[in-house]
């Protein structure tokens, strides 16, 4: 009788766990959660991603708002059991209610192309540390200081990077600069009076996979 009661308790716990909503994904090795996935393809094919790589819609990559570049994830479609492994090399999606943007190839293999968006299971598989960068210094004189994360000829690319950085960093701005008749749009993070504080932010950016140049604030204006 005691064993039967234990068995019933286990069944009850299983049913409760099945009805409960799945936990949100966190990038912790071995943890499994869920995300709302969408996909992107032809419109962005051949463009630069936030990591600096060229987006290839036929490669198994994905965009996420905050996960470090090079993060590897297994994406599983619970409706058909299909799975793919993708690598984070871009930022997005910039639509409310969506957590991850899969490449065309990844969404195709998962059977998500027609549906557009779907809740998927996610497993963290580690990270390619080759994406970690080194802080570059262009500091002359005293502060204030800033960290330049990108410089673009196209304004759209600069604002896209600004939007991505704004999820994790404060005081992100785009500065228009004309050099020898050519207009550049520079993406800056912060304005720091302390060099050590600027270095701390620059190091964090490079660990996430961004190119970061530490420079004086006035020199990029």
Q: What integer pLDDT is reported at residue 18 of this predicted model?
A: 36
Termini Cα distance of the chain: 79
Q: Please tell me the distance from the alpha carbon of residue 183 to that of residue 165, in angstroms, as a whole number.
A: 22
Q: What is the pLDDT of residues 78-106, one digit of tens each?
A: 999 999 999 999 999 988 899 999 999 99
Please tell me the class of the 136-220 domain: alpha beta
Q: Is the pLDDT of residue 25 over 80?
A: no
Q: What is the pLDDT of residues 55-84, one digit of tens each?
A: 999 999 999 999 999 999 999 999 999 999
One DSSP character per residue, 95-110 reads STT--EEEEHHHHHHH
| Average pLDDT rounded to a whole number, residues 122-141 | 93
**Superfamily of 22-131 according to CATH:** RlpA-like domain (2.40.40.10)
Residue recorded with tokens 């059991």: 81
* Residue 130 DSSP SS3: helix
The domain locations on the chain are 22-131, 136-220
Q: Mean pLDDT of all residues in the chain?
A: 86
Strand-pairing partners, residue 24, are: 34
One DSSP character per residue, 43-78 reads GGTTSB-TTSPBP-TTSSEEEESSSPTTEEEEEE-T
| Average pLDDT rounded to a whole number, residues 163-186 | 93
Q: What angle do CA 96, 97, 98 make, to 5 degrees?
A: 95
Q: Please tell me the distance from the alpha carbon of residue 157 to that of residue 126, in angstroms, as a whole number.
A: 28
pLDDT band at 22 (very low <50, low <70, confident <90, very high): very low
């Amino acid at each position: 009788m005691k064993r039967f009661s234990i068995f019933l308790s286990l069944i009850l716990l299983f049913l409760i766990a099945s009805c409960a909503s799945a936990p949100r994904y966190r990038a912790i090795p071995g943890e499994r959660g869920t995300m709302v996935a969408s996909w992107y393809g032809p419109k962005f094919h051949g463009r630069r991603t936030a990591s600096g790589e060229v987006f290839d819609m036929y490669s198994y990559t994905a965009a996420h708002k905050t996960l470090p570049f090079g993060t590897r994830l297994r994406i599983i479609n619970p409706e058909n059991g299909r799975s793919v492994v993708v690598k984070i090399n871009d930022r997005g999606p910039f639509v409310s209610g969506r957590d991850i943007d899969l490449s065309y190839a990844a969404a195709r293999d998962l059977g998500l192309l027609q549906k557009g968006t779907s809740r998927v299971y996610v497993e963290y598989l580690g990270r390619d540390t080759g994406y970690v960068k080194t802080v570059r210094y262009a500091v002359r004189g005293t502060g204030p200081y800033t960290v330049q994360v990108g410089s673009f000829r196209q304004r759209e690319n600069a604002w896209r990077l600004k939007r991505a950085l704004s999820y994790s960093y404060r005081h992100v701005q785009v500065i228009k600069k004309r050099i020898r008749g050519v207009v550049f749009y520079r993406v800056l993070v912060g304005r720091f009076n302390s060099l050590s504080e600027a270095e701390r932010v620059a190091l964090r950016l490079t660990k996430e996979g961004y190119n970061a140049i530490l420079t004086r604030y006035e020199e990029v204006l």
